[in-house]
Amino acid sequence: MAKPGSEKVPPQMQSKFDEITKLTDAFCSQSLNNEYAQMARQLTAALCRKRSSPLTTGKANSWACGIIHALGMANFLFDSSQTPHVKATAIYKHFGVAESTGQGKSKQIRDLMNISQMDRYWTLPSRIDDNPMIWMLSVNGFIMDIRQAPHHLQEEAFHKGLIPYLPEN
């Protein structure tokens, strides 16, 4: 699974990264928040680092749309009970792409990066505490919320990189 975090890209991909992130930054500034903008930049960078990056073909606005849509799918952006909330059609309209193009790029990105709803690597930082998939681990063959486990097991899970931080007890 691809982990977000870095915005480092190969030199030959820098201009494509800049072109796409200019578009995603503008959308996030207008309709989302800084947290989505940061994740969009990290996802764009991860796509730039892929061997034979898919971003070398296609239009920047299509990729920007797909990136925002893919992150939205992972973080329930289209659920009106969430904040922020944006309809998928508003994303397609903003980037000037057809619904089929936006959904297609999103699916391509999600498949390539193994992104799913409640994805532990692509959940917005502000939603980590509320994402049960991040905290559910198998301990002695039993699935449990590691936040309810003894502290030494939490430490072990943290040091193995299985949880993002040590929960406060």
User: Do the domain assignments include residue 84?
Assistant: yes
95 and 135 in one domain? no
91 and 18 in one domain? yes
167 and 90 in one domain? no
Q: Is the backbone peptide bond immediately before 10 cis, with ω within 30 degrees of 0?
A: no
What's the structural domain count of the chain? 2
Residue 45 CB partners (closer than 8 Å, separation 6+): 6, 7, 8, 9, 17
The CA-based diameter of the chain, rounded to the nearest angstrom, is 52
82 and 53 in one domain? yes
Whole-angstrom Cα distance, residue 139 to residue 95? 45
DSSP 8-state assignment for residue 57: S
pLDDT at 23: 98
Residue 144 three-state SS:
strand
pLDDT band at 164 (very low <50, low <70, confident <90, very high): confident
Looking at per-residue pLDDT, the higher value among 117 and 64 belongs to 64
Residue 22, both tokens: 């200019």
**For the segment 104-114, what is each residue's pLDDT rounded down to a tens digit?**
999 999 999 99
- Per-residue pLDDT for 3 more than 70? no
**For the segment 56-68, what is each residue's pLDDT rounded down to a tens digit?**
999 999 999 999 9
168 and 113 in one domain? no
- Domain range for 42 is 11-120
Asked if residues 22 and 16 have their Cβ atoms less than 8 Å apart, the reply is: no
Question: Where are any strands of DSSP class E within 32-141?
Answer: 136-139
What pTM was computed for the model? 0.84
Q: What is the mean pLDDT of residues 22-40?
A: 97
98 and 30 in one domain? yes
Asked if residues 20 and 67 have their Cβ atoms less than 8 Å apart, the reply is: yes
pLDDT band at 162 (very low <50, low <70, confident <90, very high): confident
87 and 43 in one domain? yes
pLDDT band at 50 (very low <50, low <70, confident <90, very high): very high
37 and 73 in one domain? yes
Range in 28-32, 44-48, 85-89, 118-122 with the lowest mean pLDDT: 118-122
